Amino acid sequence: MSQESSQDRVGWRHQVVVIVDAGSNPFELGVATELFGLRRPELDRPWYDLTVCAATPAVRMHAGMYTLTGVAGLAAVDDADTVIVPNRPDPQVPPDGAVLAAIRRAAERGARLVSFCTGAFTLAAAGVLDHRRATTHWRWVDLFTARHPTVRLEPDVLFVDDGDVLTAAGSAAALDLGLHLIRRDHGADVATAVSRRLVYSAHRDGGQRQFIDRPVPVVPDTSLAPLLAWARRCVDRPLTVTDLAERAAVSPATLHRRFRAELGTTPLSWLTVERVALACRLIERGERRLDVVARASGLGTPANLRAQLRRHTGLSPAAYRQRFGPTPSVTGVLGTVLVQSRAAEVRMGG
């Protein structure tokens, strides 16, 4: 499907289908169920319909811990807007041929394809990742690149959004990618509301590292939470890393180490993500002047706003407003038509 969101079609419920296969990890299935399967009446909008399917009526899940029954057949994939493919407990074992055929059919008709963790092996085996950007769990990078050399693997990121094909690095990164999809479909405010219900970070940028190459300190640093809360209140100001360091009463180098240890990112990257999120909310609430959005969000200039919004959402400000901005009221539309009509009458001497 195109990047048209489910909310663009009145009453339409976006169809998400999760394929499970022998040995599939139940955590990733749980992530998909939590994000796309729960009813969310508090959001007051059409949500997702989730279907779980498999090539067989009963599927023995990861480590043989339990058997999943009562799932739909693979024909469900043919009606899906988004297809989440199964991960591979052992990436060296080929995926089921019927599963690969269903994924190819979905790709051919333009469905959105998603993988969590080693699910990238499934997508690659189906041939839909050739010459495209993707990621997978760091443990399997060497095997993946050896087996699928035509894929443009990004081995050290949380997830990759390549338009209609999206891949997440590991189990926890599945949550990040899932929230990213909700943000793409419904906007920043809705994604934040869902993350709040999950008690999870609203946004970890896909380009962040999968893990931190440093030992856990024997005596952990004081939490960054108070500093982050203060910075969020002041994000519209021209804050710098030096400002954050002074507020935390540490050196910029120490602040960098603490951000890496606690958040897996840099202070500047964190600030940018917060500013983009604020800019998105301003656009969603109806602000149309780019200079006002740029200034109020701390991004400074319309040019920087355009660049950062496109980098983090894949959309220009105009496209983001069209998808997520407030819908004009009928009265407003009619009023505009009447004014234009009256102006025409005046010009004609009526």
Answer yes or no: is 75 within a domain. yes
Q: Kindly state whether residues 14 and 97 are assigned to the same domain.
A: yes
Print the domain residue range for 108: 6-198
Which DSSP string corresponds to 242-306? Answer: HHHHHHHTS-HHHHHHHHHHHHSS-HHHHHHHHHHHHHHHHHHTT---HHHHHHHHT--SHHHHH
How many domains does one find in the chain?
2
Higher pLDDT, 104 or 27: 104
Is the overall model pTM greater than 0.75, yes or no? no
Residues 59 and 19 in one domain: yes
pLDDT at 201: 59
Instruction: List pLDDT tens digits, range 266-303.
Output: 899 889 988 988 898 899 888 889 999 999 999 999 99
When pLDDT is averaged across residues 25-39 and rounded to a whole number, the result is: 89
Tens of pLDDT, residue by residue over 172-212, are: 788 888 988 998 888 888 888 888 788 665 555 544 444 44
Query: CATH number for the domain including 295?
Result: 1.10.10.60
Q: Are residues 80 and 130 in the same domain?
A: yes
In a domain, 172, yes or no: yes
Structure tokens at 287: 């602000």
Same domain, 155 and 269: no
CATH number at residue 166: 3.40.50.880
Low-confidence winner among 4-13, 26-35, 121-130, 219-228 (lowest mean pLDDT)? 4-13
What pLDDT, on the 0 to 100 scale, is given for residue 203? 52
User: 331 pLDDT exceeds 70?
Assistant: no
Please state, in angstroms and as integers, the Cα–Cα distance from residue 171 to each residue in 93, 163, 191, following that order.
Answer: 20, 21, 19
In a domain, 333, yes or no: no
**By the 8 A CB rule, do 259 and 272 touch?**
no
Residue 330 belongs to some domain of the structure: no
